Amino acid sequence: MALTSMGEETYSARHPLLQKNKFGGGCRSSSEEEATSKAVFRIMGMTCAACAGPVEEAIKRLRGIHEAVIDVLNNQAQVLFNPSFVNVEKICETIEDAGFKASLIENEANETSIRVCRIRINGMTCTSCSSTIERVLQLTNGVQRAHVSLALEEAEVHYDRRLVGHEKLLDEVETAGFEALLISTGEDLSKIDLKIVGECVDEYIKTLLEALPGVQSVEFHHGTDKIISVLYKHDMTGPRNFIRVIDSIVFDQTKLKATIFSVGEEGRESQRQGEIQRYYNSFILSLVCTVPVFLTAMVFMYIPWINHLLMFKVINMLNTGEIIRCVLATPVQFFIGWRFYYGSYKALRRGSANMDVLIALGTNAAYFYSLYSVLRAATSPDFKGEDFFETSSMLITFILLGKYLEVMAKGKTSDAISKLMNLTPDTAVLLTLDSEGKVTGEEEIDGRLIQKNDVLKILPGVKVASDGYVIWGKSHVDESMMTGKAKLVAKRKGDPVIGGTLNANGVLHVKVTKVGSESALAQIVQLVESAQLAKAPVQKLADKISRFFVPLVISFSLLTWLVWFFAGKLHWYSESWIPASMDSFELALQFGISVMVVACPCALGLATPTAVMVGTGVGASQGVLIKGGQALERAHMVNCIVFDKTGTLTMGKPVVVKTKLLKNMTLGEFYELVAATEVNSEHPLAKAIVDHAKKLRDEEENPAWPQAHDFLSITGNGVKATVKGREIMVGNKNLMSQDGVNITEEAEEMLAEAEEMAQTGILVSVDRELTGVLAVSDPLKPSARAAISILKSMNIVSIMVTGDNWGTANSIAREVGIDSVMAEAKPKQKAEKVKELKAAGHVVAMVGDGINDAPALVAADVGMAIGAGTDIAIEAADIVLMKSNLEDVITAIDLSRKTFSRIRLNYVWALGYNLIGIPIAAGVLFPWTHLRLPPWFAGAAMAASSVSVVCSSLLLKNYKRPKKLDNLEICEVLIERV
């Protein structure tokens, strides 16, 4: 049904389907009601009720849609839907398929119920495993999307908490045959794991902890150690309280002791080291058994007296060499190689095949044929056969060596996160204060035990332990880890401090305001981790290939064996081709096994994520936060950059440089009226005016301005308000013209003079009479001109889009070397300009810092937010430039290009091994060269492919910024000193 003549409010009153918990089309169960969310879309292009019909029908055809109502009058659609079946992106896409433009205005589901949790997953061996887990999670009711990273061994899941909980997600992963460990819930909760030493009653401890305010749940894990997991609200309680409660318990005259058990980054590192050690131990055991097998099969036959001992017949045709090889190869196959059987079982049980399946099939074929040969030799007086025990044991040994090297290399790809985590100190000095705020005691505590509202003592030369603000003391703090500039920042009472920054000289007392995931450093780490989990579009190729890779390899391996077997039986090749130690069946079997084990799906799966992990980590260390593989992939194709002016090309700290009064009024009275109006605005120019007004009243620390009534901000023009009964307007010529304010020649001259000097002219009217003109200057960033020049040398077009007037905009553009300018642009017009450039075939990056830049940042192929900008701009961007330097735009693009060159090289490595190795292993060259690829050598090649891909990605850690930027940075320092 379409709306043509009534407002939304009237329609909602008459139609119960738009009211909460009311649905048309019969009764629904309570569970269905809970699974319903509302989204409102803006639809552009509808002209009448006839347009609404097709849109409504198209939406209703989607699965999970409860109702859709189109409001032609307001160009809106309200949709009630089940988020477990359909999402807002799909609804938008459907509307656009119907021929109209659609954008989301409001999504109740996303605002209230969508959460993001991260899960640690152990047991993945190749991209087939990660794809399977991803598929299992995405099919879970309530999951919006899931990303699984083979390289990180983690999953990031977006889910509707009303339909599914994180416990269910963990169960789904474990049901698929993998070990799952919750890292974070994504809710406004913190999670801590405590290790308890001493005998205790679980229920008693659980009851005591759950009685604490803010504790949500308590869960015990029994194993080698007794671990307790506590979910809690960090603004109400903290781990120090939990440890205090547990330590106070005495059970059977034994006092309990609780300590923090690391399952976060430290736990992950500990687990990785444990995995490395397990692979190392397995490899050494396998090597100890395999070396004698190899020597007896391949070396000792050339030493006559040893060969005589090995060929001694024990039973019938069974000799001592075969017995030794069988005895040593058996534990390698079934004890050390058990991991491959278990991995194969899990894969086949869930209807997929992975690398473990290939290894198990290849080694089993060699082992069991060898075992058959041994049994035949023991029972037959004239059987002459060869065993391949060295093939199976050497295969497993080389594969374990490859996995050991791969795990070690993979651990180094996430070094950036470890370095970020290590920025905060391990310990902190906690102060105890009395009711008057005087220090009564202090103690050193573990940094992980810091809670909100704690007061910490920060000594000179010590890092700040957590985010907060200074309540006592004066000092200077090195904030280069956040700003990138090695410049000390003065701190005194009331000033904020950031965890991980270094206190240079004085002693500070800091009250903690943010802990855990709320801290600035934790959010940066979270952003980098999410970026490393997000898949680049180019990885879809590897995912598609891996889905069919193993079945195809098995089929080709079987075909290879059959071709060579029948070729031998039918005498299609000379018997002289067959090595003396084997027959045609054994030769065919070796070719088949070699094909099976030379192919490696792991290398394909690691090609993209390892490069993205290292690339995003290197970016973070350079102060460039890249939000995932998709942003990296788009950034390397950028050929057009749109710059905002204020705060991006300029310093973003404008100051009033000139004031001209046009009416008989004192300067103090004039600025009182202007400041009272502008104090309500968030615009940088407004802040500059208020700051200037404060300087005129320097006798007051925080001057109070008169109350402003009927305040109105007109985007792109200025502000209006009523102050002391007088109508005040502060803004540009457009604002004055719209309200009929006459602009004098004197004012016009001053505006033109300001524009020529790249300053912004601001007009002020009182009671619709022009009263004054202000000139505000925002100096250019020293590196702006050089940065634009470097971008031109990279064949990237630079465009400036600003809300400032044309004169100022053109003057700034000339100074920095930008040819194309769009001035007096409102936020919507900025976004439209970006879309226009995209439609013209450009890959567009938008660089901005303000709230008004957010629409353009979203519209661009790549949004780059200046780190000193607003939270909204940073949230909307794909790349955050933490140092607020323009040269980092160049770094981001150059790094993305280098990363994607590395990804292409990785695919050459991964596909090259398979495209070259499989034909050679199949014996394509054998008829002409008699060159064979023994199965054990094929296994070594397979292991080497994964290691080479990971090592190739690790070379990105040597990334250096373009040398031109070093000169630019020196230039900037010199300018600042002047």
Catalytic (active-site) positions: 644
What is d(CA 205, CA 193) in angstroms, rounded to the nearest whole number? 14
* Separation CA 473–CA 441 (nearest Å): 17
Q: Are the C-beta atoms of residues 611 and 956 closer than 8 Å to each other? A: yes
The HSE-up count of residue 456 (CA atoms within 13 Å, CB side) is 33
d(CA 423, CA 430) in angstroms, rounded, equals 19
DSSP state of 237: -
Segment holding 493, helix H or strand E: none
Give ∠ CA 334-335-341 in degrees, rounded to 5. 55
471: enclosing H helix or E strand: strand 467-472
The structure tokens 């989301």 sit at 104
Two tokens, residue 848? 């901005």
**Contacts by residues 785-790 (CB-CB < 8 Å, ≥ 24 positions apart):** 785/815, 785/816, 785/817, 786/887, 786/964, 786/968, 786/971, 787/886, 787/887, 787/889, 787/890, 787/968, 788/816, 788/817, 788/818, 789/817, 790/887, 790/890, 790/962, 790/964, 790/965, 790/968
First vs last C-alpha separation in the chain: 69
**Number of neighbours of residue 469 by Cβ within 10 angstroms:** 15
d(CA 276, CA 652): 50
As a whole number of angstroms, the distance between CA 361 and CA 355 comes to 10
User: How far is the CA of 307 from the CAs of 316, 389, 582, 929, in angstroms?
Assistant: 18, 17, 18, 29
Residue with tokens 């000033």: 495
CA torsion angle 700 706 711 714 (round to 10): -50
Tokens of 14: 């008459």
Pair 249, 217: CB distance under 8 Å: no
Residue 160 burial (CB count, 10 A): 23
Partners of residue 38 on adjacent β-strands = 80
**Residue 929: HSE in the Cβ half-sphere, 13 Å Cα cutoff:** 7
**Token duo for residue 742:** 């006459």
Q: In terms of DSSP H, where are the helices of 647-779?
A: 667-678, 684-696, 733-738, 745-756
Report CA-CA distances (Å) from 484 to 46, 477, 650, 885, 965: 50, 13, 18, 9, 14
Beta-carbon contacts of 213 under 8 Å, excluding residues fewer than 6 positions away, are 236, 237
Assess contact for 661 and 770: CB atoms under 8 A. Answer: no
What kind and span of H or E run contains 401? helix 389-413
Residue 817 to residues 158, 649, 963, Cα–Cα distance (Å): 44, 11, 21
Tell which phi-psi region holds residue 45, choosing left (phi > 0), alpha (psi between -120 and 50) or beta: left
The one-letter code for the residue type at 629 is G
Q: DSSP secondary structure string, 102-170? A: EEEEEEHHHHHTEEEEEEEEE---SHHHHHHHHHHHHTSTTEEEEEEETTTTEEEEEEETTT--HHHHH
| Contacts of residue 748, Cβ cutoff 8 Å, sequence gap at least 6 | none
